[in-house]
């Protein structure tokens, strides 16, 4: 088994570059960490897309039997800390191939969540996990939305990224495709024409758009929706966190 213990090792330098969008784009690779995510990747990705496993001695003793037939590279605790995106790392990582799906690669059947300029990794991860739990077919990352391969987004999705389809595409193109197949599209905006989300009859095929944390949905997208929904607030809070609002609506309107 190959062993890496020097920070000057070429592979260490390459792995550190994956912390940036530029580095990921250039190499067409991304890095995930923690046994939970590594295990999800091994169980759900094509074998060729799991390029290498980097593991400390302790983690290899614990999980080595689950890493058979994979390219496993031993690393020191110091190297684990060097390539980690967290302050306290478990010491196990998977280098994976980026596999971007476009609108041409998927059928927009079932329920889809569309993210319009969502920037907080925690919000994105929570919404993807909720979409997975609610039985959605997939999530579309629109322009301005943080990358699904960002380490914080990967960590926040907690494995759901391997369970449902994730697509990167302009939402205008997604909406156009959805309208052509006569799929209902629901926006989220509090305006005079908005409908209480509880008035929507649950259905199997639809799209739900969630807008930017501070500015809401893009106005051009609002014009293209079947209905815009709102959640009545009974207390004194001015608004709901976008991920919480998405969860409430997703579980209410999916059949």
Percent of the chain with pLDDT over 90: 96
**Does residue 123 sit in the same domain as residue 225?**
yes
pLDDT single digits (tens) 191-205: 888 999 999 999 999
What was the pLDDT predicted at 190? 79
What was the pLDDT predicted at 191? 81
**What is the extent of the structural domain holding 73?**
2-97
**Does residue 129 sit in the same domain as residue 225?**
yes
**Does residue 66 sit in the same domain as residue 122?**
no
* pLDDT score of 7 more than 90: yes
Look at residues 203, 170, 173, 169 and name the one whose alpha carbon lies nearest to residue 186: 203
**Does residue 84 sit in the same domain as residue 197?**
no
This prediction's pTM: 0.94
The whole-number average pLDDT for the span 159-173 is: 97
Residues 6+ apart with CB under 8 A from 65: none
**Does residue 175 sit in the same domain as residue 240?**
yes
**Does residue 129 sit in the same domain as residue 20?**
no
Tell me what the pLDDT averaged over the chain comes to.
Answer: 96
**Does residue 165 sit in the same domain as residue 82?**
no
**Does residue 93 sit in the same domain as residue 149?**
no
Domain count within the chain: 2
The CATH number assigned to the domain holding 91 equals 3.30.1330.30
Percent of the chain with pLDDT over 70: 100
pLDDT single digits (tens) 73-99: 999 999 999 999 999 999 999 999 999
The whole-number average pLDDT for the span 125-146 is: 98
pLDDT single digits (tens) 96-113: 999 999 999 999 999 999
For residues 64, 65, 69, 75, the Cα torsion angle rounded to the nearest 10 degrees is: 0
């Amino acid at each position: 088994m190959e062993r890496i213990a020097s920070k000057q090792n070429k592979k260490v330098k390459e792995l550190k570059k994956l912390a940036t969008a530029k580095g990921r784009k250039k190499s067409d690779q991304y890095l995930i960490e923690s046994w939970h995510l590594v295990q999800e990747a091994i169980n759900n990705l094509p074998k060729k897309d799991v390029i290498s496993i980097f593991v400390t001695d302790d983690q290899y003793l614990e999980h080595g039997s689950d890493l058979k037939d994979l390219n496993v590279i031993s690393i020191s605790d110091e190297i684990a800390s060097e390539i980690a995106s967290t302050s306290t790392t478990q010491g196990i990582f998977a280098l994976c191939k980026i596999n971007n799906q476009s609108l041409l690669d998927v059928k927009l059947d079932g329920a889809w969540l569309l993210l319009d300029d969502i920037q907080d990794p925690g919000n994105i991860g929570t919404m993807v996990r909720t979409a997975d739990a609610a039985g959605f077919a997939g999530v579309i990352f629109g322009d301005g939305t943080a990358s699904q391969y960002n380490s914080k987004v990967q960590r926040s999705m907690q494995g759901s990224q391997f369970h449902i389809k994730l697509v990167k595409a302009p939402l205008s193109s997604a909406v156009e495709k959805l309208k052509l197949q006569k799929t209902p599209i629901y926006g989220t905006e509090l305006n005079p024409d908005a409908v209480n989300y509880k008035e929507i009859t649950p259905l199997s095929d639809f799209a739900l758009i969630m807008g930017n944390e501070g500015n809401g949905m893009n106005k051009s997208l609002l014009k293209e929706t079947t209905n815009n929904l709102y959640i009545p607030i009974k207390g004194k809070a001015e608004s709901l966190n976008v991920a919480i609002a998405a969860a409430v609506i997703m579980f209410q309107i999916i059949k």
